[in-house]
Structure formats: structure tokens, C-alpha cells
């Protein structure tokens, strides 16, 4: 028989235990604990909203305030998608150092969009800042011409890095060609005239290797440019071919996933330091739009790319030139180009007149799902209202100032 004192102690302890008091019929009832942060995968009606990309793709990845203004010195290189960012910002008169004429000799300029793996991007930082010279010719141009370790080029690269306030680095793939003897990784494949089957090999690099490379790049920037910010992106451009004995489509999935995990691991390690950021261009292209690529299934449609660049400028640039109406219109145009909205809208978008759009919306059915259809109508309704306000403002600006005329 239990001691009465022990029984009393058990009863006292039981009072402190919190039990769920909700009923399974109540609206607040949940079967599973969901933690502090629960972000659901959006349904189509949610994603198609005017702020769908911001709420369901960019959420959690942006700084508290934009980092870039017209005086900020930027360097962007890596995979070919980096060139899109460089060109866009340069054309909008932002200071992209690797677009300046005096920077033309640096390999991050001449071959900046051809440095597609994390090994070669790391090599450029180690060479420029720590004067690390590799034992063999690893860097070759598009015509297989050899790029050496010219000291003048190194110093030019160092100057660019030394002046950079925001680095934008785009990683493209994790498949690499390497020298089995030295372990060094090439920019791309090996020129036919130099290929030696006894030592030149191909492999898929690991998450750990890419994580170490990205962390090493981050640490070098923090060492030599401690106040600089780093924006990392994953190129949405897929492999043109794989050297693995599997289909290119499936190999591309692994190649991108390897890099995406590596980036995320480094980001989680250092995010509290406030210097590393991720721009989800990869997810914007592959998860938001139905058919975002040209017929070659590699290059992003210009209209989709135009929207992503406008969104980038809106998110990252204090001196942005993109208006809310322009961003909304670009969002709609991108959905039309990617097949999410009917082609007939292209003609209406080209005219930018409220009446044709209003007429089109009256009888249009965009989706079999009622909520998705309503969301698309709401999105285009916002654009219609924006055009109306724009036209009204234009008419107001064009009309004479009655007060001023009367005074005269």
C-alpha cells in the first residue's frame, strides 16, 4: 500500500502538468505541434496574388532594409546568371565594378559568367587576396585558350575586390573536371590537346566540398573586406549536358540540389553575423512559373527574367527606379510569357489601356478552380486600377493650372 505522503506528493505534482483543453471540434484544435515558424506551401490562388512572390518565395531571405544605392560598389560574377544581374544594375546606373572599362583585364570580367562552380570562384579569391598560384593551367577561355597567373591581372582582380562593398556570387553546377594527381579543379572541361585520361577525371562534387568552398569564400571576404555584404544566388539555368551515365534532366536535379544544400548550410551557420544573404532566383524560375524557359529549355524567357530583375532591384536597392505599377505589370507579363495566363493578354498588355482589359475581364475564365480564378481576376483588377490611376494622373498633369491661369 502506498504511503499517504507519497500519494499527496504525486497529486501535488500533477497539478503543475498542463493539458490540452481544446476540443477536436474547435477551430483551434491541432493534432501536431507546429513549432514557432510554420510557412505553408502556397496554393495557386495565393501565389498568383500581386505580392505572391514576396510572401511565398522571398520571405525570410531579405535584409531589414535594402543594401544598395547608386554609390554602392558592386561586383557580380560566377555562373552566367550573374551577367544578367550585372547588366541590369549597370544599365540602371548602379556602380558595378566589373563592368567598368578599367577592370576589363580581370578574369572575373572577361570570364565572369563562365565560373560556374564553387571551386573556381574560390580560386579567384585565393589568387587575388592571398597570391595563391596553382601548379598547372586550370583556367581556359571559351576557345580553350589558356589563362595564366599574370601578376597584373591578379592585382587588377585584387583592386576590384578591395573596393567592393557588395559581392553578388552566382553558383551554377556541382559537376567538375579535375586533375587526379593534384586534386585541382578546372573552370570547365579540359581542352582536347591537353586531355590526359590517366589524370584528368570527372566527378560530382559533394555537398561538403561545396559548403567548404562557399564558407572559405565567405571567410576570405570577411577577412579582407569585413564590412562587405555577400548576396549568393543559385543559377536557374540547367546543365546543357552531363558526363554522368544518367539522363541530363535527373543529373541536373542532383547538381542543383547539391549546391542549394551547401549554400543553405553556410547561410544557417553565419546568418546572425548579418553579412551573407541568399537571393532565391532559382526558386522564382523553377517553382513559380509554369514554362519559364525558351525552346532550348535552358535560358530563361526575357520577360520572366525582366520581372526577376525588377523584383531584385525593388528588394535590394534603395535608389530603385521600379515603380509599384511597373513591378505589378512585369509580374503579369511574366505569367503570360510562362503560360500561366492566356496569350491574349499580351495584346492588351502592349496597349496598356484600361478599357480593353476591363472588357476582357468581364467574361474571362482563367482556371477551373474557383479560388484560383478569383485570385487571377483580383490580380488583373489591381493592374486595371493601377492603369486607371496612371491615366488619371497623366490627364491631370497635362491639364492647365486653372488657379494659375486665373491669377494671370
Record the cell numbers describing residue 16, joined without a space.
503543475
* DSSP characters over 61-92: TS-SS--B-TT-EEEEEESTHHHHHHHHHHHT
Tally of domains within the chain: 1
In a domain, residue 290? The reply is: no
The residue that leads in pLDDT, 111 or 350, is 350
Proportion of the chain in helix, strand, coil states, percent, rounded to 5: 50, 10, 40
The residue that leads in pLDDT, 82 or 27, is 82
User: Helix crossing, 324-337 with 344-351: angle to 10°?
Assistant: 160
For residues 248-258, average pLDDT: 98
Q: What percent of the chain has pLDDT over 90?
A: 73
Helices (H), 178-247: 207-224
DSSP summary character for residue 399: S
| 396 pLDDT more than 90 | no
In a domain, residue 192? The reply is: yes
By DSSP bridging, strand 139-140 and strand 95-96 are unpaired
| 96 pLDDT more than 70 | yes
In a domain, residue 378? The reply is: no
The residue that leads in pLDDT, 19 or 41, is 41
pLDDT value, residue 13: 47
pLDDT value, residue 80: 78
In a domain, residue 360? The reply is: no
For residue 105, the tally of other CB atoms under 10 A from its CB is 14
In a domain, residue 263? The reply is: yes
In a domain, residue 111? The reply is: yes
Q: Are 165 and 224 in contact (CB under 8 A)?
A: no
* pLDDT tier for residue 159 given thresholds of 50, 70 and 90: very high
Residue corresponding to grid cell 553546377: 173
For the stretch 276-322, pLDDT in tens is 999 999 999 999 999 999 999 999 999 999 999 999 999 999 989 99
Q: Among 1-5, 326-330, 350-354, 385-389, name the one with the lowest average pLDDT.
A: 1-5
For residues 160-168, average pLDDT: 97
Q: Among 234-248, 293-307, 342-356, 389-403, name the one with the lowest average pLDDT.
A: 389-403
What's the domain range around 130? 62-279
Closest CA to 77 of 170, 210, 157: 170
| 406 pLDDT more than 60 | no
The residue that leads in pLDDT, 25 or 366, is 366
The whole-model pTM stands at: 0.87
Question: Which residues pair with residue 178 across a beta bridge?
Answer: 185, 201
pLDDT value, residue 14: 46
pLDDT value, residue 3: 53
Query: d(Cα 301, Cα 297) in Å, to the nearest integer?
Result: 10
Closest CA to 38 of 21, 58, 54, 60: 60
Query: d(Cα 129, Cα 223) in Å, to the nearest integer?
Result: 10
In a domain, residue 376? The reply is: no
Helix (H) or strand (E) holding 386: helix 370-398
C-alpha 138: how far from chain center: 28
Q: Are 171 and 78 in contact (CB under 8 A)?
A: yes
In a domain, residue 235? The reply is: yes
pLDDT value, residue 17: 47
* pLDDT tier for residue 101 given thresholds of 50, 70 and 90: confident
Query: d(Cα 326, Cα 295) in Å, to the nearest integer?
Result: 27
CATH value at residue 270: 3.40.50
Amino acid at each position: 500500500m502506498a504511503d499517504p505522503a507519497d500519494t499527496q506528493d504525486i497529486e501535488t505534482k500533477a497539478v503543475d502538468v498542463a493539458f490540452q483543453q481544446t476540443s477536436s471540434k474547435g477551430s483551434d484544435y491541432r493534432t501536431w505541434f507546429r513549432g514557432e515558424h510554420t510557412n505553408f506551401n502556397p496554393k495557386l490562388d495565393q501565389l498568383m496574388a500581386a505580392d505572391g512572390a514576396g510572401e511565398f518565395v522571398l520571405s525570410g531571405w531579405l535584409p531589414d532594409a535594402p543594401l544598395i544605392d547608386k554609390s554602392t560598389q558592386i561586383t557580380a560574377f560566377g555562373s552566367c546568371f550573374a551577367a544578367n544581374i550585372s547588366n541590369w544594375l549597370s544599365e540602371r546606373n548602379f556602380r558595378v565594378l566589373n563592368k567598368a572599362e578599367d577592370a576589363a583585364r580581370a578574369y572575373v570580367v572577361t570570364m565572369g559568367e563562365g565560373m560556374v562552380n564553387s571551386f573556381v570562384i574560390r580560386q579567384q579569391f585565393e589568387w587575388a587576396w592571398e597570391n595563391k598560384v596553382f601548379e598547372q593551367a586550370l583556367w581556359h577561355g571559351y576557345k580553350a585558350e589558356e589563362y595564366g597567373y599574370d601578376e597584373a591581372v591578379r592585382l587588377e582582380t585584387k583592386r576590384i575586390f578591395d573596393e567592393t562593398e557588395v559581392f553578388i556570387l552566382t553558383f551554377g553546377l556541382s559537376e567538375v573536371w579535375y586533375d587526379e594527381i593534384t586534386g585541382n579543379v578546372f573552370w570547365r572541361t579540359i581542352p582536347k590537346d591537353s586531355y590526359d585520361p590517366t589524370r584528368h577525371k570527372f566527378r560530382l562534387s559533394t555537398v561538403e566540398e561545396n559548403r567548404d568552398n562557399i564558407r572559405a569564400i565567405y571567410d576570405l571576404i570577411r577577412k579582407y573586406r569585413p564590412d562587405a555584404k555577400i548576396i549568393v544566388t543559385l543559377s536557374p539555368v540547367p546543365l546543357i549536358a552531363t558526363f554522368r551515365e544518367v539522363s541530363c534532366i535527373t543529373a541536373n536535379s542532383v547538381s542543383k540540389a547539391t549546391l542549394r544544400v551547401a549554400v543553405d548550410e553556410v547561410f544557417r551557420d553565419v546568418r546572425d553575423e548579418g553579412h551573407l544573404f541568399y537571393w532565391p532566383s532559382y526558386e522564382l524560375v523553377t517553382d513559380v512559373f509554369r514554362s519559364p524557359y525558351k525552346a532550348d529549355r535552358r535560358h530563361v524567357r526575357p520577360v520572366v527574367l525582366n520581372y526577376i530583375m525588377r523584383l531584385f532591384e525593388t528588394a535590394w536597392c534603395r535608389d530603385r527606379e521600379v515603380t509599384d505599377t511597373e513591378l505589378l505589370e512585369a509580374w503579369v507579363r511574366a505569367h503570360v510569357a510562362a503560360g500561366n495566363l492566356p496569350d491574349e493578354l499580351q495584346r492588351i498588355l502592349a496597349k496598356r489601356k484600361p478599357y480593353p482589359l476591363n472588357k476582357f475581364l468581364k467574361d474571362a475564365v482563367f482556371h477551373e478552380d474557383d479560388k484560383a480564378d478569383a485570385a487571377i481576376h483580383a490580380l488583373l483588377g489591381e493592374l486595371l486600377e493601377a492603369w486607371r490611376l496612371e491615366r488619371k494622373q497623366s490627364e491631370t498633369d497635362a491639364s492647365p493650372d486653372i488657379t494659375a491661369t486665373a491669377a494671370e
